[in-house]
């Protein structure tokens, strides 16, 4: 089946530092990947759509300068949380679809998530 | 805006009892997807329903898509402790196609 990996799985950082999270599709290519944020006991909230070779599309209310997304290749997307603050502490999850269209209607395969704690 | 709602939010059952979670969309969906998230884990795809009135089974799990394609349900027969987790439904937005997740139903199973 389709496998998506994320690294790191957990990160603890000091306020003001930047943290980079990698999302990789291991056995398929993904022109589109998605980044979600999940607070404890809440649902997933789409933050942005990562597009290979072009700029990411951000959801309303998500600061693009705060959450930098780079889709470097067909198998790798990175999310950088810049100047992290305690309120950025959350569970960040990426997803991708093996279908070539990368449409939202396609089954999404999620990475294992990255738990970010900002002190 | 378009919403996908799930009930109940939490459900505690005794092992062996049945469990059902319901998903309702404010608009007609082209398809509905179900995911399971174990405590501390990430969402894992379970199934996708596309056709009106569709019913699919996976062992003890039965998934239904309503005739109007606005609601769906997941029924687990004779729950086991391995069924513990949060079950999310998700449907694509009619405007953008983006997946909208329900709030999830968290299932606790007492052994």
Task: Kindly write down the DSSP assignment for every residue of A26-41, as one continuous string.
Answer: SSS--SEEEEEEE-TT
Mean pLDDT of A30-49: 90
Shortest alpha-carbon distance between residue B99 and chain A (Å): 6
> Is the predicted pLDDT of residue B93 greater than 80, yes or no?
yes
Which range of A39-43, A48-52, A114-118 scores highest in mean pLDDT? It is A114-118
* Torsion angles phi and psi, residue A34, rounded to 5: -125, 145
Whether residue A9 has pLDDT greater than 50: yes
Mean pLDDT of B38-64: 95
Is the CB of A42 inside 8 Å of chain B's CB atoms? Answer: yes
User: pLDDT at position A114, please?
Assistant: 97
**Residue B99: pLDDT band by 50, 70, 90 thresholds?**
confident
| Alpha-carbon torsion angle A94, A46, B29, B84, nearest 10 | 60
Contacts of A108 in chain B (CB under 8 A): 33, 45, 90, 99
Helix or strand holding residue A12 (H, E): strand A10-13
| Whether the predicted pLDDT of A52 surpasses 90 | no
What is the tens place of the pLDDT at every residue in A89-103?
999 999 987 765 545
CB of A91 closer than 8 Å to CB of A38: yes
- Using a CB-CB cut-off of 8 Å, the residues of chain B touching A34 are 99
Check whether B76 has a pLDDT greater than 90.
Answer: yes
Residue with tokens 């980079």, as numbered in its chain: A20
Given this model, what pLDDT does residue A105 score?
A: 54
- E strand intervals along B1-111: 4-7, 10-14, 19-25, 32-37, 43-49, 55-58, 61-65, 71-76, 85-92, 99-101, 105-110
Q: State whether residue B27 sits within 8 Å of chain A by CB.
A: no
If you average pLDDT over residues A40-65, what whole number do you get? Answer: 90
Q: Half-sphere exposure of B8 toward its Cβ, with a 13 Å CA cutoff?
A: 9
Residues in A closer than 8 angstroms to B41, CB to CB, are 112-113
* pLDDT of res. B95: 76
Q: Which pair of tokens denotes residue A52?
A: 């290979």
Cα of A112 to nearest chain B Cα, Å: 5
Q: What average pLDDT does range B60-75 have in this prediction?
A: 97
Q: How many CB pairs under 8 A join A and B?
A: 47
Longest dimension (CA), chain B: 44
pLDDT higher than threshold 70 for residue A68: yes
Contacts (Cβ under 8 Å, ≥6 apart) of B56: B47, B49, B62, B63
Query: Which residues from chain B sit within 8 angstroms of residue A110, using beta carbons?
Result: 35, 42-45
What pLDDT is attached to residue B98?
80
State the pLDDT at residue B54: 97
Rounded to a whole number of angstroms, the distance between the first and last alpha carbons of chain B is 41
- Cβ B33–A111 below 8 Å, yes or no? no
Give contacts of A112 with chain B, Cβ < 8 Å.
41-42
Sheet holding A4-7, edge to edge: A4-7, A19-25, A76-81, A67-73
- Mean pLDDT across the stretch B82-107? 91
User: Quick check: B97 and A93 CB within 8 A?
Assistant: no
């Amino acid at each position: 089946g389709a496998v998506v990996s994320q690294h790191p799985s957990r990160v603890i950082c000091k306020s003001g530092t930047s943290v980079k999270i990698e999302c990789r599709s291991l056995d398929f290519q993904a022109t589109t990947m998605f980044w979600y944020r999940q607070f404890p006991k809440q649902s997933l909230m789409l933050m942005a759509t990562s597009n290979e070779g072009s700029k990411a599309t951000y959801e309303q209310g998500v600061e693009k300068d705060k959450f930098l997304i780079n889709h470097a290749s067909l198998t790798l997307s990175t999310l950088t949380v810049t100047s992290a603050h305690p309120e950025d502490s959350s569970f960040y999850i990426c997803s991708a679809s093996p279908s070539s269209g990368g449409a939202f209607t396609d089954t999404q395969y999620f990475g294992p998530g990255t738990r970010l704690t900002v002190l | 805006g378009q919403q996908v709602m799930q009930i109940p939010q939490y459900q505690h059952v005794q092992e062996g009892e049945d469990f059902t979670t319901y998903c309702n969309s404010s608009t007609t969906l082209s398809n509905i997807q179900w995911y399971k998230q174990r405590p501390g884990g990430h969402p894992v795809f379970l199934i996708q329903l596309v056709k009106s009135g569709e019913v699919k089974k996976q062992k003890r799990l039965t998934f239904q898509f309503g005739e109007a394609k606005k609601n769906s349900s997941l029924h687990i027969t004779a729950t086991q402790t391995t069924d513990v987790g949060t079950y999310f439904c998700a449907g694509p937005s009619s405007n953008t196609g983006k997946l909208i997740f329900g709030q999830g139903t968290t299932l606790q199973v007492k052994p």
